[in-house]
Structures are given as C-alpha cells and as structure tokens.
Structure 1
C-alpha cells in the first residue's frame, strides 16, 4: 500500500472522546509528533478530523442479490467487481474493511501491491455453513450439489471443519466466519434456529484460537448467540433478536456485536425493485424493526458494539446510510467509537481507529462537527477529504 507524508493544518482533531484544535502530521504513512521536511500540506481550517472508518462486515465478492449467482460465477469476475466495491468504500471514508464471507490472499496481495486504491483489507475466506444452513444457497426445491463457492463453503463434521479452518489460516485469513443461525438471504433455514452442533462450533474456535485468530458468527436470536459465545465465538454478526440477558452474557465473555443496520433497511426499501426473492423479503421483515433496539440493548449491557454494512449487489451504495441508522440508535459519539476504536479492537490492530502518534495516517475530514450535527457522519457532501496512509484519496 502506497504511503506518503502529509500535514493537515488547522483542523479540530478527534482524540477519542472529543475534538481539539491541532495540526496532524503523517510521516511515511503513520501519525507523527513532528512533520516531515518534505510533507505536503492539507488545509483543515474549519474542518473536523476523524480517524478513517472501519467496516467490520464488508462483502467484496457479493456481486448479486442472488446467493447462488454469487457462488457459481467466475471468481475473476467477483474479484474484479470487488476491486470496484472496495475503491468506492474507500472514497466514502472507510479506510479499513473486514470481509467476513469471501475474499482471498490474491485480492489482499493486489491491495498490498497498490494495484488499485482500496481500504486496508482483512478477509475470512468463504464462511463455513452446515448443510441447509445460512451459507447453503439452495432452496428446498433445488436438487443440485453444492459445497464450495466464493463466499460460503458447506462443511459438516468436526474433522472436516478442523481442516477447513486450517486451510483458511494457511492462506492468510484474518479470522474465521461461521454461520450459527438462519439468515435473511438463505432460502431453507428458519431465522432463529441455531446451526452446527456445539462440538462443531467448538472445534472451529479452538483451531482459530490456536493460531491467535478468532471466530465471527452470523447469529440473530438469543439462542443462536448463546450457542455461539458458549462455544468460544468472539464476534457476533447481526444479533438483531438478542435480549438483555444474552447481551449481559456477551459482555461477561468479552464478545463483540457487529450490527449491520444498513442491510435490512436497504432490502426493505429497495429489495423488491432489484429482484430480491419473496422468502428473503419476508425474513427481512422479522429482523428489520429489531436492529436498532439490539444496538441499544447491547450498549446498555456493556457490550463492545462495532459497525458493519453487509450490503449485497447493488445495495452497496447504502453504506453511509448504515452510519446514519446506527447514529440514530446510539448517538453520534457512540457511533464514532464503534466505527473507529471498537472495530480496531475487534480486528486486533491498535494502529487503526485512532489518530494517536504511531497510528495509521488514515483520516476523514468533515465540514461539520458530527457531535453537533450527526448527519455529517453519513452525508457524502460533508466529506472534505479522505486520507489513507498520508495520501489524499479525495
């Protein structure tokens, strides 16, 4: 990834809780106490400077609203389309993303080689699903074989899962994604029912933990979330249907919640017009109204709440709308914390999500104070500049 030296002058700079006036210096891509002699300058006067945002539930390979189409098309097409999705996310101010269903070492290598502009990229590889689970794209009337696609792999049994985890970690996966409940997008599984046996979930978390990694689980209901965290899962994706007792259990175990409010709102508003199937539209109605409430329940219990988008196909341009929805639920300050410090803690990178000395030189310059005008977090027009590793992207 390309880096350079830059001094952003005269801005109000985020310190983790509030803004204070100062100059921010980036030297060779990292925040520094002193400017580089040859640094370029960016006038930040009248602007409000935040760390670059982190999206902890991104989908680079989600080219379609049709799950089977996502899995059966050429990988080259998915990857090339993914480069476009990633570059657009960067220009919205997301300087790091965690791809939790797909991605691979080839895409990560292209990003690290600066073949195109992209957020910093962490991937899990294809998510793990049981037969008939959330990652199995077949409807009940489809009679074909399916085991491995670009975004999901169907794997059953303890030893098969052990091998699948080892292969992902061998090929550069940041974390492991597992499906532990039904989902909106899948066609043959009820939303609340837990998936995989305790032994199957446990072998996945044990193998990941042995390598210093962790597991993210797709889970909606309290039953599925408890099933996940009791067997070692660290990151709960979605969690719309959790109750207060489950949230307390999450907090006690140090589990994170990554809400994905943009996805349900986008499917509700736009799903029918772009061809989302009737089964998924009906399932979406079950979780749509509960997403913001789940964020509030989790925060009240002391859960570390991050941010994710989970937008498929043409819905990708609603990423910033998800920021607005989360700010509506938790307030601007908590949402900034979710987009930066919490997600940085989740991915285990102290250089992300901060503008402290030694952090990545990734920043977002806004025209308004987001603590006073929360809409500044989500309005494209409020973005004066996006900076990554000291490079002004826009």
Structure 2
C-alpha cells in the first residue's frame, strides 16, 4: 500500500518514504488531532446549534459570561441592602428581595427570605431596578456615520454585539431601539449567544423622501420606480416611504420582522445634512396610516420630531411618544399633556458628551437643540407631561461610555429620585405600551413582586446624587438580568 497524500505516492519502506514528507496528514500527532476535532464536533452537535454558535462568538469576545446563574429549584435572595423601587422617592431598608425563575417573587423583612435560598450579601449597598434607555440605537451607536452608511454590514453587527455587552455592564438592562437593523442582535441576546440588554426593537426608521431617515447621497437622485433600494434600506437602517400606501407597506414590514413599536420621522434632525431642522415631515394622513397599521397589531408609533408644528401634527395623527421635542412651545407642551403622550427626551446640552459633528450645518442645528433642551425639561415638568429618559448616542464611537453620566445630568433639572424614575419606573410604563408586541412579558423598571428580576447593586446613594452612575466600572457592584448575575464585585 502506498503513502498517498497531497497527490504524492510513495511505497512503504522506500528510501523516498523515509525522508520525503510532503504533508503530515498521516502522522500520529495529526491523526490524534483529527480525533480530537471529531470528538469536539460530536460534542457540539450534542450540545445543539446555540452552543456551537456560542463557541464561535467567544472567539470575538462576544459570548456572555455569567458570574452566577440562578440555581435551578432554589430561589436567590438579595440581603443587607437599601433599594429604590423605581417609583417612590425613597430608599427602602430592612428588606430582602427574593428572586426565582427570573422574576422577583417576594419582598420580605430582613432574615425572612427562604432558608434554602442562595444568598447574595449586598454589603449595605444601594439596589435599583435595571436601567432603561428609551432612545437607543444598538447597531448604530458605536460606528461613525460614514461607516454606518458604507461599511460591510457584518462589521457593523459585530461591533454592535460587542457594544451590547458593554451596555449591560453599564447597568442598562433594557433599551428601546428607535431605529436600525437590530432584530438579529436581539435574537442573539435572547438566546444567550451573547450578553446584552433586553431590546424593544423598532426596526428600520420610516422616513419620507428627503426626511431625516433619508441618508442617500445627492448623486443617487433622482430615484426611479425601477431603481434598487439604497444601502441603508437594504440593510434595515431606514425605510423610505411616500404616500399612505408606501407607509402602510413599510410599517407592516417592520411589524412582520418583530417590531415592538414603530418609529417614524416627523421632522428635521441634526445628523442629516439635507433636511432643515424646522421642516415638518410626513403629511398627517401618512402618519395616520402608520398609526392605524401599528394599532392593528396592538402597538403604537413613536416619532422623531423637534418643532411645534411637527409635534402637533404627529399628536393629531395618533403618535403616542414624542422623541426629542426640544423646540416645542408652551401650547404644544400642553397639547402633549392633554393627549397623554410620552415625551422621550434626552439631555442634549452641546457639551463633551454630544454626538460629534464637523459639518457647519449639523453644528448649527445641534446648538439650536441644546438651547431648547433646558427649557423643554423645565416646561415639560411644570406641565406634568409624562417623561422618560433616553440618550440617542448615535454614530459616536466611544460615546456610549457616557450613558450613565447622561442620566446623572438630569439632576440639573430635578431631584435624583425623579431622574432615576425616568430611567426605571416611568420608562417601564412607556415600554408597556407595546402591549402584546412587548417581547418580554412582565413588568420592567420596578422592584416589586412579579417584576422581571433586573437588579443592580451600586456603591452610591441615589438619595443624594446619581454621579456614581457615570463610573460603572468602579461603582456598579452587581448586574442581574432575568435572575442571572452577569457581574459580581461585592
């Protein structure tokens, strides 16, 4: 029998076979390596597809690392703590939080938790619900604008996967994604393929031609009916729609993909170059088409918009959540209150945490919004509008690290407890408007029996300040999401 490998054939015992070794496929070491590979493949097949994918993602540093999973059949008890429940402006003491099956099952007196429980001593630290960012772009947060519009979408998704884990480690256990191709990332997180927050996805942001979601370059115009979709449309960043029929189609496509709410663009924006900030976008009947399609699926529409005209038009069409809105006048703010709409607002203050802009047009628009931000917070609170926290960190590599710091900035306008409620209990109420389209059944943003067990342990006192949230590496001692501990440094 000859030795055949890589096209060569040498008789056993021949002089050539003694010294010529074109490849090592037949060597004992190689055969042993093959055996190990085959055993590993069989093991992966036995573990199932998710485990195999998990191993693949581990090579990119994206696989989740649980500090402690909940022991099956045994509750977990957090003890020796003071906690903010997400609503009441106080810290509760002398209590223990019981977690079982991914939910908070009871809040009991100190020492009264189940005796067979796994106990986590919080060392007297503060406990809060997991934080919620109501205006987040999970796939667009950590790439530059030019990268988002031109790079291979696989790279964008891998960066998003890495950022998802960092978001969770900052204490944001839930985000409402207000535009971008996030459905795959959400599935990967939900299946424990990688670590990240719960995601309430909007899918592609729906925009009119020339609207804030139209990122096409001018040299691509005019667009004809037979032309293929633009890169941002093909990849799910945006969906351009003109007329009621097209708005219905694009809305229904996002619902088909699994959107928990719909995002439309009802006015000009800062990041785009070609739509002035003062423009109203989408006719009222076009917006109403999106609202009706969403209502048929038991959910709602949120709308990017800054100006009074755009906000009022959106409210008349039935939009339930105003995103940004910093240029609203008094009458418009009162209309938001009367309609029971939510104001998803961000601390756009043109400071060191602002999304970087180099174009003079963008810079001018950014400054205009920052001027309106202070007044918007003051007037909105004075009128009693329902407000929830978001950051809208967008196309800003490295900027996501400011997420907790931006929450702390709200104490410029309100007490630390009121600010924290905007990112916990109030934010959870906004998310609940998704109804049956909510991807995670159960209350979020609160520490209460029946709520999902998303809990954080902090070295800091929310009764005095939220500044400690700006440095989660040092001050965030425990991150629990759904009863699983992703970080423990107690």
The TM-score, its normalising length taken from structure 1, stands at: 0.92
1:374 match: 466
2:120 match: 42
Residue 413 of structure 2 aligns to a residue in which SS?
Answer: helix
2:361 match: 279
Count of residue correspondences: 389
Counterpart-to-counterpart distance in 2, 1:375 and 1:69: 32
Q: 5+ residue gaps in structure 1? A: none
Counterpart-to-counterpart distance in 2, 1:281 and 1:7: 50
Would you say 1:324 and 2:446 are equivalent positions?
A: no
2:331 match: 245
Task: Identify if the C-alpha distance between structure 1 residues 232 and 12 changes in structure 2 by more than 3 Å, giving closer, same or farther.
Answer: same
2:436 match: none
Counterpart-to-counterpart distance in 2, 1:339 and 1:203: 30
Matches within 5 A, 1:203-214: 203-214=289-300
Superposed CA deviations along residues 62-84 of structure 1, whole A, max 9, x for unmatched, are 14332x54134333222221111
Which residue of 9, 16, 21 maps to 2:79?
A: 9
Counterpart-to-counterpart distance in 2, 1:38 and 1:209: 46
Which residue of 370, 382, 391 maps to 1:300?
A: 382
Residue 423 of structure 2 aligns to a residue in which SS?
Answer: helix
2:309 match: 223
Contact 2:349 2:371 in 1 (8 A): no
Counterpart-to-counterpart distance in 2, 1:369 and 1:124: 34
Matches within 5 A, 1:1-394: 4=70, 5-15=75-85, 16-17=87-88, 18-21=90-93, 22-33=95-106, 35=113, 39-62=117-140, 63-66=142-145, 69-138=147-216, 143=221, 146=230, 148=233, 149-261=235-347, 264-266=350-352, 268=354, 271=356, 276-312=358-394, 313-314=396-397, 315-348=399-432, 351-380=443-472, 381-394=474-487
Q: 5+ residue gaps in structure 2? A: 1-63, 224-229, 433-440
Give the stretch that moved more between structures: 337-346 or 32-41. Answer: 32-41
Residue 123 of structure 2 aligns to a residue in which SS?
Answer: coil
- RMSD, aligned α-carbons: 2.2
Residue 289 of structure 1 aligns to a residue in which SS?
Answer: helix
Counterpart-to-counterpart distance in 2, 1:277 and 1:188: 12
Contact 1:89 1:119 in 2 (8 A): yes
Counterpart-to-counterpart distance in 2, 1:37 and 1:205: 51
Counterpart-to-counterpart distance in 1, 2:143 and 2:314: 28
Counterpart-to-counterpart distance in 2, 1:329 and 1:377: 17
Counterpart-to-counterpart distance in 2, 1:39 and 1:193: 58
The TM-score, its normalising length taken from structure 2, stands at: 0.75
Give the stretch that moved more between structures: 360-369 or 35-44. Answer: 35-44
Q: Which has the larger radius of gyration?
A: 2
Residue 208 of structure 1 aligns to a residue in which SS?
Answer: helix
Q: Alpha-carbon deviation of 1:141?
A: 6.4
Counterpart-to-counterpart distance in 1, 2:465 and 2:353: 27
Contact 1:6 1:391 in 2 (8 A): no
